């Protein structure tokens, strides 16, 4: 059970970081700082997140993301920049949970956790790209708020029931892989249809 608890927290950090790295870091720091979350000995390496500077920087970056994430196309640009940042952050948080390990296991854990973060990030980024193809901004705002709520709920589950969180987050990652593939296929078909339409319009103009 202890191993599942560790894996549940590590997988939780990796999964949630792909959705919103800064909110995940901010919540963890605040929970530890104000004793909302009692750290077991196995999680003591996470105590660094309670550093006021880390909380402050994570909070400021979360505020920036909170607004950028709700503006059409700005959110996709933000996601593009964070394609490299989120997997690294997710891997670092997961490794902090797992603690000191054999160097080979550390590399494997970093690759797996970073890959997990990249999966949820790709799902978020591709779904936003699809949403941005619609002309109205409401979908962006609702989706972004829903993602923030998912991170808060996921962190709560991870803190209160890490074993259950392991199975929940594992399911989320599997669904995310399937969903991202489907979303990318839809985007690809949409772009192909747009290119074909532009070719037809150009041909009609040449005939005229």
pLDDT level of residue 198 (50, 70, 90 thresholds): low
Give the separation between CA 39 and CA 16, rounded to whole angstroms: 19
Tokens of 50: 């309670």
**pLDDT band (50, 70, 90) for residue 197:** low
Confidence of residue 32 (pLDDT cuts 50, 70, 90): confident
Q: Are 24 and 153 in contact (CB under 8 A)?
A: no
Which segment, 76-80, 180-184, 194-198, 203-207, is predicted with the most confidence on average? 76-80
* Lookup result for tokens 């009692």: 38
pLDDT in tens, 95-118: 888 877 788 888 888 899 999 999
Summarize the confidence of residues 134-145 as an average pLDDT: 80
More confident residue, 143 or 3: 143
Question: Residue range 39-63: average pLDDT?
Answer: 87
* Helices 162-207, 2-33: inter-axial angle, 10-degree rounding: 80
Question: Which tokens in the block code for residue 80?
Answer: 């593009």
Percent above pLDDT 70 for the chain = 85
pTM: 0.85
Q: How confident is the model at residue 194 (pLDDT cuts 50, 70, 90)?
A: low
Looking at residue 44, the DSSP 8-state letter turns out to be G
Residue 141 has pLDDT above 80, yes or no: yes
Q: Is 16 exposed, middle or buried (0-12, 13-18, 19+ CB in 10 A)?
A: buried
- pLDDT over 70 (residue 196): no
Which run of H or E residues covers position 116? Answer: helix 103-131
Which of 98, 150, 163, 100 shows the shortest CA–CA distance to 124? 150
């Amino acid at each position: 059970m202890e191993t599942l608890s560790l894996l549940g927290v590590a997988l939780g950090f990796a999964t949630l970081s792909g959705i919103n790295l800064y909110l995940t870091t901010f919540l963890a720091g605040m929970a530890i700082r104000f004793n909302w979350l009692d750290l077991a000995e196995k999680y003591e390496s996470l105590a660094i997140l309670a550093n006021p500077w880390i909380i402050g920087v994570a909070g400021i970056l979360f505020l920036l993301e909170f607004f950028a994430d709700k503006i059409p196309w700005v959110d996709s640009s933000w996601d593009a920049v964070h394609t490299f940042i989120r997997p690294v952050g997710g891997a670092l948080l997961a490794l902090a949970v797992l603690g000191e390990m054999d160097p080979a296991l550390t590399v494997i854990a970093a690759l797996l956790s970073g890959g997990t973060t990249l999966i949820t990030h790709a799902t978020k980024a591709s779904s936003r790209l699809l949403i941005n193809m619609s002309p109205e901004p409401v979908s962006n705002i609702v989706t972004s708020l829903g993602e923030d709520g998912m991170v808060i709920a996921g962190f709560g589950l991870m803190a209160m029931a890490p074993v259950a969180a392991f199975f929940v987050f594992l399911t989320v990652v599997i669904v995310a892989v399937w969903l991202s593939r489907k979303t990318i296929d839809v985007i690809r078909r949409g772009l192909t249809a747009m290119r074909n339409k532009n070719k037809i319009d150009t041909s009609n103009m040449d005939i005229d």
